[in-house]
Amino acid sequence: MNSGKNSSANEIIDLTYLFRILLIWSWIPMLTALAGIYNGYQDLKGFTPQYTASMTVLPTGATGANTNSGGAVQSIAAELGLLPGTQATSVSPFNRLEFFLGSVALAERLQEKYGVMQILFAGSWDSENQQWTRPNGEDFERQEQIKAFLRQNLWSPPNLQSAANYIISSINIAAFDQGPFRKLTVTHEDPEFALWLLTTAYFEADELIRERDKLELEERMSYVELQLSSVDKIHIRDGLRQQLATELGREVALEVDLPYAAIIVEEPYIMNGLTEPNLPLIFGIPAVVGGIIGFLFISFIALFRREKRS
C-alpha cells in the first residue's frame, strides 16, 4: 500500500522537476525556433517569383469512341459472335486527356515535333556536340554521393519518361467549387515558356486522343461492314446497319475541327501578378519544428539527469 503511494509521489516529483527545468532552460527552444526562422529567411531569399499560365475548359459530356449505343442491338450481335460480348468501361475524353498529359506517348509526340527534351532539359544538352552532358560542381557531386549512400538512382541522361514526368508535374488541373469546369495552370519564371508548355501539351494530347479514336473507329466500321456482307438474317442485318449508322455519326464528330476532350471556356493566357511566397509556411513550420526540437532536447537532458541523481 505504501509502495503505491511512494510511486505516485515519485511521479509527481518527476513532473515538477521536469517543468522547473523547462522553465529554466526555456531559452533553448527559443534559440532553436529562431534558428528555424533564420532557415526560413534563407529560403525566402532564394524564392523566385513566377508567372502562371492558365486556361479554363468544360469537359465534354460525350464519352468518345469507347461508348457504345444500341445495347439491345449489340446484345443480339454479341450472341451470334458478330461483336464482342463484353464492353469496356466508358472513360470520358477529358479523363483520358488527364492520363495522356503524363504519358510517354505524348512525350514521344512532342519530342518528334518540337524536340521537347532539349527544351525542358536545356541545361544538360550540349547543342554543339549533340549529346547530353553530366552536371558537375561540388554541390552536384555531394548530392550524388548522398544518393549512392542511400542506394538511390544516380544521374542519367533524360529520356521520354523524364519528359513525361516533367510535363505532368508542371500542369495542375483543379476543379471549380461549382460546376464541371476545370482550370489548367502551368507556373514558371519564364511566362512564354509557361504558356507554350500549357498550350502545346494540352492541344497535342487532345489531338492524340482524337487520332487514336479515329483509328479505333475505322477498325470497328470495317468489322461491321464485313459482317453485313456475310449475314443473311434480316434482323441481324438491321442491327448491324443501325450500328454502322451510329459509328458514322461518331466519325462526323471526330472530323469536326474543334477541341475534342473539352470545350475551351477561357483561352490560355498569362495571369496578372507573380506568385508570392507562402510566409506562414516558410517561417511558421521551421519555427515550430525548431521549438519542438528544443523542448525535446531539454526533456531528454532533464530525464537523464534525474535518472542519474536517483
CB 180 within 8 A of CB 198: no
70, 250 in Cβ contact below 8 A? no
| pLDDT average, residue stretch 48-66 | 76
Of 136 and 219, the structure prediction assigns the larger pLDDT to 136
Helix, strand or coil, per DSSP, at residue 171: strand
- So where are the chain's domains? 30-47+278-310, 50-89+167-276
Q: Which CATH number applies to 50-89+167-276: 2.60.40.10, 3.30.365.10, 3.30.1890.10, 3.40.640.10? A: 3.30.1890.10
Is 225:244 a contact under the CB 8 Å cutoff?
yes
Nearest-Å Rg of the Cα atoms of the chain is 32
Phi, psi of 57 (to 5 degrees): -130, 160
What's the first-to-final CA gap in the chain, in angstroms? 22
Task: Give residue-wise pLDDT tens across range 185-200.
Answer: 999 999 999 999 999 9
Q: What is the value of pTM for the model shown?
A: 0.67
Strand partners, 183: 56, 174
Whether pLDDT at 276 is above 50: yes
C-alpha cell of residue 61: 459530356
234/6: higher pLDDT:
234
pLDDT at 210: 86
Whether the CA torsion 63, 67, 71, 73 is positive or negative: it is positive
Residue 60 near residue 260 (C-beta atoms within 8 A): yes
- Express as a percent the part of the chain with pLDDT over 90: 30
Q: State pLDDT tens for residues 99-156.
A: 999 999 999 999 999 999 999 999 889 888 899 998 888 888 999 899 898 888 888 9
* Joined grid coordinates for residue 34: 529562431
Q: How far apart are CA 44 and CA 283, in angstroms?
A: 9
Strand pairing class (262-270; 51-59): antiparallel
High-pLDDT (> 70) share of the chain, %: 70
DSSP for 107-167?
HHHHHHHH-HHHHHTGGGEETTTTEE----SHHHHHHHHHHHHTT--------HHHHHHHH
Averaged confidence pLDDT in the chain: 78
Cα 58 versus chain centre, distance: 20
Question: How far, in Å, CA of 116 to CA of 125, rounded?
Answer: 12
